[in-house]
Amino acid sequence: MNDEAFEALNAVYLRKIASADVVTECTGLESGAARELIAAEIENGSLEDLGGQYMLSEDGTRAVLEGYEERYASLRENSTVEDWYQRFETLNSQFLQTISAWQTSGQDEGVLDKLLKIVSRQVRALGTIAETVPRYTRYADRFEHALELVEAGKSEFITSPTADSIHNIWFEFHEDILTLLGRPRLDAESDH
């Protein structure tokens, strides 16, 4: 499976169900190209069409997990990603504390400042791992886009579960890197 197909299926895998727009956003492809890819994956039985929303078939899920294996099994042996992930864990717990504090403090602007600073640091950190996992630059781009929208006063891009919000991107990235490292989610259950 080529990189584009892997990224498209992975976008669906991380969400369980996704529209063509979401796949376009996550892969960074042109909208037409993303739609062609989806059509091809429906054709070969990896995706199921639920009327404009797509789900992975069992074959599709297997293909995604195999895609992670063949791309990243070797990375799990060296410490680069592992060390990077340890730093991310620190940032992750700050992020979760701060986003919850923002929600429960009556959306205090000072707390939001802190939150956006954490997200900017995450964008910088993603830059340092881009050489090892090039597709992670997409998460950086999506964070940047969400940051711009939040700074322009669109606060739904902080936690809205139905938009490409900071919390959604963060959660998705966390799932992604856990899968990449071959770790089950349960370890992280206590926080996220």
Partner 1 sequence: MERWVHDVAHIDPNDTARFGGKGAGLARMTALRLPVPPAFVIDTNACRLFGQTGGRFPDGLGEQVSAAISGLERASGRPFGGGSGQPLLVSVRSGAKVSMPGMMDTVLNLGLDRNNIGRFAAAVSAPVAADCWMRFWAMYADIVLDVDPDLLKVAVAAECADAANALNPESAMVFENAVLKFLGNEGVVVPANPRTQLDGSIAAVFRSWNSRRAKTYRAHHGIPDDLGTAVVVQAMVFGNSGPDSGSGVAFTRDPKTGEANLYGEYLPQGQGEEVVAGTRTPVDLAHPNPELVVLRTSLTSYGKSLEREYSDALDIEFTVETGKLYLLQVRPAKRTAAAAVRIATELLAEGAIDEETAVDRVTVEQVRRLVSPQFSAAAVSRARVLTTGIGASPGHGSGVAVLDADRAAALAAEGTDVVLVRPTTSPQDLRGMLAATAVVTARGGATSHAAVVSRALDKPCVVGAAQIDVRPAEMFFSIDGVGYAEGTELSVDGGTGQVYAGILPRSVPDSTGGGLEHLLSVADRRSGAGVWLPAAAAGASAGRGGAGIGPVGLTDLLGQHPGAVGRTVAAIEVLSHDPNAPAARIEDVLVPDVQVVVRTVLENSGGLPLDLRLPVLTSPRARRLIHEWASLAPHLLLPLGPKRLLSAWLDGIATAVRDTGHGATTVLLGGVTNAAEIDAFAELAIAAGLRSGAVLGNPAALFESRLKSRPNAALWVDLHELTRAAHGYPEELLFTISEFTATGALGDAAPGSVLHPLVRHLLGELISTRGGARVGVDLAGASPGGVVPDLYRMGFRTFTATSAGVEELRLLLGQAAGAPKEADHG
Which parts of this chain interact with partner 1 (CB under 8 A)?
14-17, 21, 87, 90-91, 93-94, 96-97, 99-100, 103-106, 109-110, 112-114, 116-117, 121, 149, 151-153, 156-157, 159-164, 167-168, 171-172, 175, 185, 189-192
Exposure string for 38-70, b = 16+ CB within 10 A, e = fewer: beebeeeebbeeeeeebbbeeebeebbeebbee
Q: Which two tokens stand for residue 72?
A: 């990243």
Q: Which two tokens stand for residue 158?
A: 């902080």
**How would you class 9 by CB atoms within 10 Å of its CB: exposed for 0-12, middle for 13-18, buried for 19 or more?**
buried
Whole-number Å distance between alpha carbons of 3 and 8: 9
